[in-house]
Amino acid sequence: METVKLTIDNKEIEVPRGTTILKAAKELGIEIPTLCYMDLHDLNIENKPGGCRICVAEVQGRRNLAPTCSTKCEPGMVVKTHTARVLNARRTVMEFILSDHPKDCLICPKSGTCELQDMAHRLGIREIPGQEFAEMSTYRQDTSPSIIRELNKCIMCRRCEMMCNDVQTVGALSAFNRGFTAAVGPAFEQNLEYSSCTYCGQCVAVCPTGALTEVNHVPQVLKALNDPTKTVVVQTAPAVRAALGEEFGMEPGTLVTGKMTAALRALGFDYVFDTDFAADLTIMEEGTELLDRLSRHLKGDKSARIPILTSCCPGWVNFFEYYYPDMKDVPSTAKSPQQMFGAVAKSYFAEKIGINRKDMVVVSIMPCLAKKYECQRDEFSVDGNPDVDYSISTRELAAFIRQANIDIRNLHDEDFDSPLGESTGAGVIFGATGGVIEAACRTAYEIFTGKKLDRLDFTELRGMEGVRSATLDFNGTPIKIGIAHGLGNARKLLDDVKHGRSEFTAIEVMACPGGCIGGGGQPLHHGDSEIIKARAAAIYTEDRKKPLRKSHENPFIIKLYEEYLGKPGSEKSHHLLHTHYFDRKDKILVKK
């Protein structure tokens, strides 16, 4: 590999050609501050518009200061990162940015996790000259079912725009206006509701300031918990346990399943259940649907569409409803685990404990913001009573725990309640990209072949590559599996399906890069993809530790079918656990 030698702050270093000054400096232990820059290299996501100009440094012989995030190292370069000129420039630019930013840090939802606030602290900004006559750029606030946009706090880092367009190809956000009034938003500055937004929340996940935040549902949950007439049931998604600890200073990848359960119980939930249970249920339904379609397809039935697409991810559902409405019969009709849980809790379980569904409040803890939208969809309610009442994110749960004076670090591990808290390892791995399809294969293989699997870890389905594929041998029948995470990657596979080029039998799609562990409601990764990888590792550890690792072996699932549903794909199952899709584009565009 060709290398270049250069000097940064009087230290010599040799780096591969093409390395940026920022990265070379990092190797020397010099942390040049950055604001708009973000690099999730494992996921192939990079944002460096060169817009904030905070990362500038002096390069000998250069007329102006160089943005180190995007200036490549050249042989013999002499770089200084903290001269008086650099420090003054950095401070002045920061003062500019702050002069056009609201000063309500004390009550901002991003307070404490705001990168702009941290930077102001790091640079020691103590005053903003000229603030008394500085005009501020102002925009209207927008509250959608999942996301709040407060563009007064936008600093034009363009991360959200990059996520929405380059990574997710959703195209809901774009920079608009120019100069001082420029910001990022949907067309015509309308509300997100009237855009192609899927509520995947990746924009929120990367926003360095309080410009994009989630809608907070904690107050409603608190109210329900304090209502003596309500039985409050909580379900927690697999990815939450692998990330919640980060909010309390634990190492990324620390599993806090037991502590989380204890905390939820301490918060006052009547039943602490697990979405993993519903994940096992999903496998039963979706797996049955897959096998049914596959066998009909193999018999030459043209109406049996192959590949089958997973449907547990609400961001993904929103995406194909908007961009591929003509293909809405391709994804599995199985509801997502969150909604299956809600449907079962408010029917089977409500009956079991003898209460009316109206007196039950189902709360979900999700790594996801689209789940907030999903539980509000009309088709997921009975007589106006939603199957899942409130969905709160991992971040909201952490805030709730802090507000309730619960010291989660020192709680003793507790178990989930029964019966909807019992799950297998297959349910756990739903949280990582490739997990749903791996779980499905564990079950589908045994049902399809009638044989026992001798190896449960389908490692060929794991990893962080955006699009992956593998062919599994189902006793002589090749099953081609496709996996995409990130909607841009999903689009590639979907276009193939649309044009009849797809060779896959089944495709798993997760809207968020990394799957649910990288969801829009997770603790902020601040651009560190190591965190996402650590969460994935934790998920697979939890799977390995489980005594049962195949959904169809979950005794409580077996019991649910025996007592209530009959068998997978039965009429009752269809009624409770399956759904249908809409053409979303028709609903939201300005009428033509």
Partner 1 sequence: MSSIKIELRKEDVDFIKETCSKFNNDSQELINVLHGCQEHFGYLPAEVQEVISEYLNVPVAKIYGVVTFYSFFTMIPKGKHPISICMGTACYVRGAEKVLEEFKKELGIKVGESTKDNKFSLSSLRCVGACGLAPVVLVGDKTYGRVAPDDVKGILKEYE
Partner 2 sequence: MSKYSMHLLVCGGTGCHAAESDAIVCNLRDELEAKVLTDKVQVIKTGCFGFCEKGPIVKVMPDNTFYVQVKPEDTQTIIDEHIIKGRKVTRLLFKDPSTKEAVSDSKHMDFYKKQMRIALRNCGFINPENIDEYIARDGYQALGKVLTEMTPDQVIREIKESGQRGRGGGGFSTGLKWELAKKSVSDEKYVVCNADEGDPGAFMDRSVLEGDPHSVLEAMAICGYCIGSSTGLIYIRAEYPLAIQRLKIAINQARENGLLGNNIFGTNFSFDISLKYGAGAFVCGEETALIHSMEGLRGEPTIKPPFPAESGYLGKPTNVNNVETFASIPAIILKGAKWYSSIGTEKSKGTKVFALAGKINNVGLIEVPMGTTLREVIFEIGGGIKNGKKFKGVQTGGPSGGCLTEKHLDTPIDFDNLIAAGSMMGSGAMIVLDEDDCMVSMAKFFLDFTVEESCGKCAPCRIGNKRLHELLGQICEGKGKIQDLDRLKNMSVVIKDTSLCGLGQSSPNPVLSMMENFRDEYLAHVTDKKCPAGQCKSLMKYIINAENCVGCTACARVCPVNAITGERKEVHLINQEICIKCGACYEKCKFDAIYIS
Residues with a known catalytic role:
286, 289, 312, 332, 371, 374, 379, 516
Q: Alpha helix locations (H) across 43-114?
A: 84-99
Nearest distance in Å: CB 145, partner 1:
19
Q: Give me the 70-109 binding string for partner 2, x by CB under 8 A, dash otherwise.
A: xxx------------x--xx--xx--xx-xx---------
Q: Does 177 bind partner 2 (CB under 8 A)?
A: yes
Contacts with partner 2: how many residues (CB under 8 A)? 35
- Please identify, using beta-carbon distances, which residue of 92 and 418 lies nearer to partner 2: 92
Question: Which among partner 1, partner 2, none contacts residue 381 (Cβ within 5 to 8 A by kind)?
Answer: none
Residue of 145, 197, 143 lying closest to 171 (CA atoms): 197
Q: Does 52 bind partner 2 (CB under 8 A)?
A: yes
**Distance (Å, rounded) from C-alpha 307 to C-alpha 120?**
51
Element holding 375 (H helix, E strand): none
Question: Can you tell me which of 175, 404, 447, 456 binds partner 1, judged by CB under 8 A?
Answer: 175
Q: Does 179 bind partner 2 (CB under 8 A)?
A: yes
Question: Which among partner 2, partner 1, none contacts residue 171 (Cβ within 5 to 8 A by kind)?
Answer: partner 1
Q: Does 118 bind partner 1 (CB under 8 A)?
A: no
Q: Does 589 bind partner 1 (CB under 8 A)?
A: yes
Check: CB of residue 516 under 8 Å from CB of residue 238. yes
Nearest distance in Å: CB 357, partner 1:
40
- Please identify, using beta-carbon distances, which residue of 212 and 360 lies nearer to partner 1: 212
Q: Does 147 bind partner 2 (CB under 8 A)?
A: no
* 3-state helix/strand/coil string of 433-457: CCHHHHHHHHHHHHHHHCCCCCCCC
Q: Which string of DSSP letters, residue by residue, matches 206-275?
A: H-SSTTEEEPP-HHHHHHHHT-TT-EEEEEE-HHHHTTGGGGGTPPTT---HHHHHHHHHHHT-SEEEEH
Question: Which among partner 1, partner 2, none contacts residue 67 (Cβ within 5 to 8 A by kind)?
Answer: partner 2
Half-sphere exposure of 244 (CA within 13 A, CB side): 30
- Please identify, using beta-carbon distances, which residue of 68 and 257 lies nearer to partner 2: 68
Nearest distance in Å: CB 165, partner 1:
7
Count the Cβ atoms, other than its own, within 10 Å of residue 561. Answer: 17
**Distance (Å, rounded) from C-alpha 462 to C-alpha 433?**
7
**Distance (Å, rounded) from C-alpha 511 to C-alpha 198?**
9
Q: Does 165 bind partner 1 (CB under 8 A)?
A: yes
Angle among Cα 497, 198, 384 to the nearest 5 degrees reads 110
Q: In which residue are the tokens 């685990």 written?
A: 337
Binders of partner 1 among 134-163, rule CB under 8 A?
Answer: 140
Binders of partner 1 among 180-239, rule CB under 8 A?
Answer: 185-190, 195-196
**Distance (Å, rounded) from C-alpha 251 to C-alpha 533?**
12
Question: Can you tell me which of 13, 116, 173, 439 binds partner 1, judged by CB under 8 A?
Answer: 173
The 8 Å CB, 24+ separation contacts for 187-190 are 188/590, 189/139, 189/140
Binders of partner 2 among 113-142, rule CB under 8 A?
Answer: 129-130, 133-135
Nearest distance in Å: CB 370, partner 1:
19
Nearest distance in Å: CB 250, partner 1:
38
Q: What are phi and psi of 307, to 5 degrees?
A: -75, 165
From residue 215, alpha-carbon distances to 69, 146, 147, 521 in Å are 33, 5, 5, 10
The residues of the shown chain that bind partner 1, judged by CB under 8 A, are: 140, 165, 171-178, 185-190, 195-196, 589-592
The residues of the shown chain that bind partner 2, judged by CB under 8 A, are: 49-53, 56, 64-65, 67, 70-72, 85, 88-89, 92-93, 96-97, 99-100, 129-130, 133-135, 155-156, 175, 177-182
